[in-house]
């Protein structure tokens, strides 16, 4: 099961990820991305991988929750 993980220490709050994936990410009270506890669907995985690669703060990753591996 893949989920999005946000490293809050790296998030600059640009909003690219929240704008592109509102079903998976929202802004927290500090204006940083916050992952919704939701499994990444196979249909969305490629687009999310692209967003992870384009994150200016390199704050996003996809993790396999079962193994805790990226």
Q: How many domains does the chain have?
A: 1
**CATH number of the domain bearing residue 21:** 3.30.70.20
Q: Which of 58, 51, 46, 43 has the alpha carbon at shortest distance from 11? A: 58
Please check whether residue 69 lies inside any domain of the structure. no
Please check whether residue 60 lies inside any domain of the structure. yes
User: What is the extent of the structural domain holding 20?
Assistant: 2-64
Per-residue pLDDT of 27-70, as tens digits, reads 999 999 999 999 999 999 999 999 999 999 999 999 987 765 55
Residue 16: the pLDDT is 95
Please check whether residue 70 lies inside any domain of the structure. no
Q: For tokens 């390199």, what's the residue? A: 58
Please check whether residue 53 lies inside any domain of the structure. yes
Residue 23: the pLDDT is 96
Q: Which of 54, 18, 55, 48 has the alpha carbon at shortest distance from 63? A: 48
Per-residue pLDDT of 14-30, as tens digits, reads 999 999 999 999 999 99
Residue 65: the pLDDT is 74
């Amino acid at each position: 099961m893949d989920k999005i993980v946000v490293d809050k220490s790296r998030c600059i709050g640009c909003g690219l990820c929240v704008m592109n994936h509102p079903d998976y990410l929202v802004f927290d009270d500090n204006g940083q991305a916050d992952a919704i506890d939701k499994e990444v669907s196979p249909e969305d995985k490629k687009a999310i991988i692209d967003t992870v690669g384009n994150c200016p703060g390199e704050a996003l990753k996809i993790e396999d929750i079962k193994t805790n591996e990226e």
